Amino acid sequence: MKFLTFVIGCALAVGLLLFGQRHADPVQPAGFRGVVDLTHSVNEKVPTYELAEKSAYQVKTVATIEKDHYYARNISLPEHFGTHIDAPAHFAPGSWTVDQIPPERLIAPLVVIDISSKVRNNADYRLSVEDIAQWEQKNGQMPFGAVVMARTGWASRWDSEKDYRDADGKGVMHFPGYSVDAAHFLVEGRNVLGLGIDTLSVDYGPSKNFEVHQYTLARSLYHLENVTNLDRTPETGAIVVVAPMKLEGGSGGPVRVMALLR
């Protein structure tokens, strides 16, 4: 009964969020005090992992109100663009593609681990097991089946592709991520459903083999990359709603991520 009430509450939260966009005084979701959107808007200025002269995001207006009495566009973009989800199939052949991720895994307790103070003097910092231990000393043991987000502060660089990619003279990028040890602990010790971060990748910038991707996606986790507004989200107590495009066969895809605040 409690689970049914929880699911109904989440459904009402999403519906009321959409309603609130058109209402002068938005109504808060039932059972929650607010919603934080953890998603960047998609446009041609989105920083990308691979440097390109021309944006991979292409848009063409195909109908206008003035001419056609309705507005519509055609868009083209990569699966891993902007705030997006990595499906297990991204690195693990035969694993879930985006459309195959069970929906019950897309609503979960949200854990935010703030490592921004450690990143300030070390762009290559990787979230460690010690960081997790410090979080638990403060907040108690994280719930099993959570989605963990690393708050690095990197989202503040979003409007500058140069600063967000932070590449050196040899083209090697420098931004924070997760350590392999931390990934092992979160999977084996805390049974997490997904990892998120406010950078281009859960693996830190200089990574060559994507060790965290290799390990976690092979164990049916998903990743949420290029998230934002983690500074507006509590370290514990919120619920995350992950709403990816249900892209058949997708290795990843655009995603809207929302934190429901209790």
- Domain count for the chain: 2
Residues 167 and 220 in one domain: yes
Q: Other CB atoms closer than 10 Å to residue 126's CB: what's the count?
A: 23
Residues 3 and 109 in one domain: no
DSSP string, 191-256: --SEEEESSS-SS-TT-SS-HHHHHHHTTT-EEEESB--GGGS-SSSEEEEEEE---TT-SEEEEE
Residues 70 and 49 in one domain: yes
What pLDDT was estimated at residue 26?
A: 59
**Which CATH number covers residue 158?**
3.50.30.50
Residues 164 and 45 in one domain: yes
User: What value does the mean pLDDT of the chain take?
Assistant: 92
Nearest Cα neighbor of 176 from 119, 250, 229 is 119
Per-residue pLDDT tens over the stretch 189-240: 999 999 999 999 999 999 999 999 999 999 999 999 999 999 999 999 999 9
Sign of CA dihedral 171, 172, 174, 175: positive
* Confidence bin at 53 (pLDDT 50/70/90): confident
Residues 7 and 117 in one domain: no
* Confidence bin at 51 (pLDDT 50/70/90): confident
Residues 120 and 216 in one domain: yes
The dihedrals phi and psi of 251, each to the nearest 5 degrees, come to -80, -15
Alpha helix (H) residue ranges in 28-151: 65-68, 116-119, 129-139
Residues 23 and 98 in one domain: no
Residues 166 and 236 in one domain: yes
Q: Is residue 98 helix, strand or coil?
A: helix
In the chain, the percentage of residues whose pLDDT exceeds 90 is: 85
What pLDDT was estimated at residue 27?
A: 60
* Confidence bin at 52 (pLDDT 50/70/90): confident
Domain of 156, in residue numbers? 32-261
Residues 10 and 58 in one domain: no
The C-alpha atoms of residue 188 and residue 183 are separated, in whole angstroms, by 8
Residues 121 and 242 in one domain: yes
